Homo-oligomer: A and B are copies of this chain.
Amino acid sequence: MSFPDVKYDGSMGRWEPNASGRLQQAAMQLYFEQGFERTTVAEIAEQAGLTERTFFRHFADKREVLFWGARALQDSLVDSVLHAAPLTSPLVAVAQALEGVSAMFEERREGVQQRQSIIAANPELQERELIKLAVLAAAIANALRQRGVKEPTASLAAEAGIAVFRIAFESWVSQSEERSLRQVISDSFTELEHVATDR
């Protein structure tokens, strides 16, 4: 048995093995070495051994390469919140979800650090990151409401959880942090409890 020869025409583009991953890697390297602003899509494509056309089949623009994982992160967090054990309190459901995704970042800390330094150097990227986090918080609040959590509890737990995550993440990304991301997140939730009850 043989498979038919499939010929892609120009309008469809050729299939390139792991094009998206190669483009991401090339983009990250160039952004890191020569800066985000100074890097063109043509350079990214060339570095990856692909065409600009292939780039735009995978990413809307050069900014999107840096936020490519946002949707998967959101899906994972929402799924985790929705499937938390019955009677789990809202903030615990959020904390568990965030601790659950921490391994994903741990595995590639150097890449995560590179990405953070690229974003820190560019206000437009910082804005995009803020928006991404706001969308994440809204999605988590929505998942909590689906679990029957009322407002404003759902939004407060989601927003406070994302604030904890952001602060924990920034601390973990810094070179001097020796705890695991999971541990920093867990410690930060404990600290939030202290902050909220120290009144």
Contact = CB atoms under 8 A, between A and B. Distances in A.
A120 interface: no
A126 to B, nearest CB: 8
Contacts of A152: 167-168, 171, 188, 191
A147 to B, nearest CB: 14
Contacts of A193: 196-197, 199
Contact of A131 (B130, B153, B171, B196): B130
User: Which applies to chain A's interface (DSSP): helix, strand, loop or mixed?
Assistant: helix
Contacts of A134: 130
A160 interface: yes
A187 to B, nearest CB: 9
Interface residues of A, number: 34
B195 A156 contact: yes
A92 B196 CA distance: 9
Interface of A: 89-92, 95, 127, 130-131, 134, 151-153, 155-157, 159-160, 163-164, 166-168, 171, 188-189, 191-199
Contacts of A199: 89, 91-92, 95, 189, 193
A125 to B, nearest CB: 12
Contact of A192 (B156, B164, B189, B191): B156
6 contacts: A89-B195, A89-B199, A127-B127, A153-B194, A163-B163, A197-B197
B191 A153 contact: yes
A151 B171 CA distance: 10
User: A90, A189, A196: which has the most chain B beta carbons within 10 Å?
Assistant: A196
Contact of A156 (B127, B153, B163, B197): B163
